[in-house]
Chains A and B, each alone.
Chain A
Amino acid sequence: MKEKQLIIFSFLSLSIIGLVMIYSSSYIWALYKYNNQYKFLFNQLIFFILGLFLLLIVYKMDLNIIKRYSNHLLILAIILLGLVLIPGVGIVRNGSRSWFGIASFGIQPSELAKLALIIYTAKYLSLNYSVMKNIKKGLIPILIVIFLFFGLIMLEPDFGSGFILVASIIGMLFIGNTRLSFFTYSALFGMLGISGLVLVAPYRMARIISFLNPWSDPLGTGFQIIQSLYAIGPGGLFGQGFMNSIQKHFYLPEPQTDFIFAIIAEEFGFVGILVIVSLFFIIFYAAMRIAFKEHDLFKKYLVFGLAFNIIFQAFLNLGVVIGLLPVTGVTLPFISYGGSSLIISILEIGLILNISCDLK
């Protein structure tokens, strides 16, 4: 099966590139902070191996079980999202209370919530496909669930995760037998809302467009983008060479996380970036072919939702790193350091691969 092989190849490539680049970009920080240059690499490797086990389980699993228990999963996710907000239970990192600390590892419930909601939406759409054109009966219930999740995540607050979650579900609704006019209206409504907010407080406009010229505030909001551009720009066509990044030497903060793409660009140049973007696109393309051929509605929606989530998150991260979008704090799937993100991404791949087995 062509699609399955493409996905396995691309996801493994991205994960291995991720492990290698986590080492390259983090060893200086790791040595400085933990006196162990392999600290981040080992942590990520553990999650990667754990992820692969989980992938095998999910791959072999009967998806009907998941479909049956998706409501339970959703409720579990809501409970966890609620729990993490309680001080003492949830841990604050980088300004948001979005982590459960277990030993030295952290688990983000928002990552699980994302997966749970995608599964739930796939089920919801497949069961209600006949009423989806009806806003009251079809759309409103699912929108209420989405905004409940978004609201809980924004209480942490973690705008990046919330945004990805909402965008992934909107993407699923788009293909989910809905009227196009709904999207037109909501886009118009959204724009009116933003315009209203800007009119009330014009400084918001400056905030919104400040990312376009990071040099207007080089030590504040522009700092990360400038440091990112200082990594990407000097990379040139072919890069500075593996391990040769200078920006990872305490210039770009935590280079192994959200901005790891900049370090890849610095060390491997445009050619490296072409490879990364292509691998992500291949995963999405192959998954779309699976969705295209799948006749079971639940699986069709699910495979689309999972792949759309991965590519949307990846492109959002890239958009931020190269200065096309304001900084939102989103990881690059498979590559950025972070256990929850990696495991959820691998689980998503596992589910996609599971569905791909239906194809004959």
Chain B
Amino acid sequence: MVIKQINNRIKVVLLIIFVISMILIIKVFYIEVFSYQKLHKLANDLWSRNLPITADRGLIMDRNGKVLAGNITKTTLVLIPNQIKNKEEVTKNLARILDVSYDEMKKHVFKNTSIERVHPDGRRLDFTVADQINSLNYDGVYLLKESVRNYPYNNLLSHVLGFTGIDNQGLSGLELLYDDYLKGVDGSIKYYSDGKGARLTHPEVYNEPVNGMNLYLTIDIDIQASIERELDNVIAKYNPEHALIIVEDPNTGEILGMASRPNFNPNYYQNYKSEVINRNLPIWMTFEPGSTFKIITLAAAIEEGKVNLFEDHYYDTGSIRVANAKIKCWKPGGHGYESFLNVVENSCNPGFVVLGERLGKETLFRYINAFGFGSKTNIDLNGEEDGILFNLDKVGPVELATTAFGQGISVTPIQQINAVSAVINGGNLLKPYVIKMVVDPVSNNILYENKKTLIKDHIISENTSKLVKFALESVVANGTGRNAYLENYRVGGKTGTAQKVENGHYLYGNYILSFMGFMPADKPEVVVYVAIDNPKGVIQYGGTVSAPVAKNVLQDIASILKMDKDISGMPKVYNWYESKYVILPDVTGLSKDEALKKLKGFSISYVGSGSSIINQNPVGNSYVLEGSNVKLMLN
């Protein structure tokens, strides 16, 4: 009886113990299987010291893959104070090699921390310095790879590219705007250490850094180099307050080049004032555009049927009365009797006032808005301004008149070039952009690609666009833009001489001289906008200062983009003091006599002694300087 009761109780205890064993096993299973990830990570954080390895930032490249922002590898000094044995000696030697005071270095070496980055004295070390430290072979002193941003072309494209800070983080420009793509993910070397900080023999774990994504721009580095060079020349020659050049592809909205002065060297950004760094003038500066704005008025007037360039005429007396104001033409005495094509060629202000009056304020401002003025273009850069238009309710006859020739409204250069692009590409306003695509450097997958973005189509008709292009080619061949005439290529363009406003008053003798040029004039592939703010020591006309700069740029672009020569455009009308260019006939295949007849007026030299011409230099059917030397190769 007693035995039985005891045995029953023993069974109960056995059962309870069995249940408890199961609970213990299940709990251990839970810890080792379900909590494994969490505990493993926490324990690893406890056991390991992560020595950081910076990722390479993504490259920024031009449209052809030339690197504009790259990386160079330097070394960074990292200490694990617990592993350093002779701290005084280490402090003394590191201080000597890095050329800092003993006390400064002591702060790092004696710091009570698991891992110490010697900032800033131990950052971005050259290999020679790193080698000296390495040769000491101290425990707890680590030299790690550090990737440092490098801009191989220095000042080139500085405002667009921006720059990065000491920790390789994007601080301005594209570096800031696309930092998430560019920065990549830093890696590390994980060393295991014991509870006292000494290094364990467990193999270290290498977490490879993931390099940033590469950025391809729409910029062409050769075109950019050309405009940078021209701006440098402008600065040297005229010492203006500001100067800028933009090159855009009018058919896509791609920006091929963008530069301004003053600029900076992103490798040494600390040496510049923040205004210089932060103001990307082509998208930030606002000013009254002056006569280049007449392109908009002209396009609107033709589209609305308010003018026939060839039939309609106007007599310019040198001024025009609007309401109670007298608006003067830039030419004292006026241009006299002229067709409206002449009005455009001469950039005659009273003529454009008439066009403005014919359009009326509603219509003119409708076009101005349609071409994107008064609002941001939303180009993929930061720091863009809006520009300022008259409030339509407050536009009286005088405001309408001045707006028609580009005074009294305020625009940004990017708005101006983008609007003109729309005029000459057949009437479609596009979004300008500088990022072509973002590419993964490992897989070469395109993560993001910018395409042509239409903002507003058919603002003007194809035909109107053609007429405007014709008129603007004529401006360069016969009118105020003749300094931009490029032999063998067809160039269209418009000068601008805008008076600057300060505190509500026009400044005397202080102008922004601009030129808007495009090429080829019949089927434009590029538009170039040059604006120079208050050049010194020169007659302040856009035609004399900015047009030659645009011409140089266009000439470079013609060879960079390998544009075909075209002599079918309007011939230039020469002044008596200018050297003339004439078409050199093609004489290859002709006999010597026939060739001589055709080449009247040229000085000729021969190579060889045959009777028929097999080659000539320069090649035929191109403009050459009148009377220049022609080499003929005989068979």
Contacts and interface: CB of A to CB of B under 8 A. Distances in A.
Contacts of B5: 177
A237 B33 contact: yes
Interface string A207-238: 00000000000000000000001111111110
A237 B31 CA distance: 10
B32 A315 contact: no
Contact of A270 (B21, B32, B38): B32
Contacts of A269: 32
Contacts of A236: 32-33, 36, 40
A229 B42 CA distance: 10
Nearest to B22: A277
Given A284-B17, A291-B10, A250 B196 contact: yes
A139 interface: no
A230 B21 contact: no
Contacts of B21: 277, 280-281, 315
A233 B14 contact: no
Q: Chain A, interface size: which category?
A: 35 or more
Interface in B578-625: none
B539 interface: no
Contacts of A230: 39, 42-43, 46
Contact of A233 (B13, B40, B192): B40
A234 B10 contact: no
Given A233-B36, A281-B17, A300 B6 contact: yes
A359 B46 CA distance: 54
B194 A250 contact: yes
B337 interface: no
Contacts of B458: none
20 contacts: A129-B2, A174-B13, A177-B5, A230-B43, A232-B31, A233-B31, A233-B36, A233-B42, A235-B32, A236-B32, A246-B192, A273-B25, A277-B25, A288-B10, A291-B10, A297-B2, A300-B6, A315-B20, A319-B24, A324-B27
Contact of A249 (B31, B38, B200): B200
Would you call the interface of chain B mostly helix, strand, loop, or mixed?
helix
B504 interface: no
B202 interface: yes
A274 B27 contact: no
Interface of B: 2-3, 5-7, 9-10, 13-14, 17-18, 20-21, 23-25, 27-29, 31-33, 35-36, 38-40, 42-44, 46-47, 192, 194-196, 200, 202
A11 B10 CA distance: 21
A295 B6 CA distance: 11
Interface string A268-293: 01100110010011001100100110
Contacts of A270: 28-29, 32-33
A324 B30 CA distance: 12
A308 B24 contact: no
B26 to A, nearest CB: 10
A171 B6 CA distance: 12
- Residue of B10, B28, B40 with most partner-chain A CB within 10 A: B28
Contact of B6 (A176, A233, A319): A176
Interface string A163-188: 00000000100111100000000000
Nearest to A291: B10
Given A28-B194, A233-B31, A322-B31, 20 more contacts: A177-B2, A231-B43, A232-B31, A233-B35, A233-B39, A234-B43, A236-B40, A237-B33, A269-B32, A277-B24, A285-B14, A288-B13, A291-B10, A295-B3, A300-B6, A304-B13, A322-B27, A323-B27, A323-B31, A324-B24
A249 B3 contact: no
A304 B13 CA distance: 10
Interface string A252-280: 00000000000001000110011001001
Given A246-B200, A284-B17, A234 B6 contact: no
A115 to B, nearest CB: 20
B28 A322 contact: yes
Interface of A: 28, 129, 171, 174-177, 229-237, 246-247, 249-251, 265, 269-270, 273-274, 277, 280-281, 284-285, 288, 291-292, 295, 297, 300, 304, 308, 311, 315, 318-319, 322-324
Give the top 9 A-B pairs by smallest Cβ distance, nearest first.
A233-B39, A250-B195, A249-B194, A175-B9, A230-B43, A251-B195, A270-B32, A234-B40, A273-B28
A15 B122 CA distance: 54
A315 B27 CA distance: 12
Contacts of B3: 295, 300
Would you call the interface of chain A mostly helix, strand, loop, or mixed?
helix
A237 B195 CA distance: 25
Contacts of A129: 2
Contacts of B192: 246
Contacts of B42: 230, 233
A281 B18 contact: yes
Contacts of A28: 194
A229 B28 CA distance: 10
Contacts of B14: 284-285, 288
Given A270-B32, A270-B33, A284-B17, A233 B195 contact: no
Given A229-B39, A246-B200, A250-B194, A175 B24 contact: no
A129 B20 CA distance: 29
A318 B196 contact: no
B10 A175 contact: yes
Contacts of A311: 17
- Residue of B20, B31, B38 with most partner-chain A CB within 10 A: B31
Nearest to B200: A249
Nearest to B42: A230
Contacts of B23: 324
A292 B2 CA distance: 12
Nearest to A229: B39
Nearest to A28: B194
A113 B330 CA distance: 119
A341 to B, nearest CB: 20
A231 B194 CA distance: 13
A253 to B, nearest CB: 9
B562 to A, nearest CB: 64
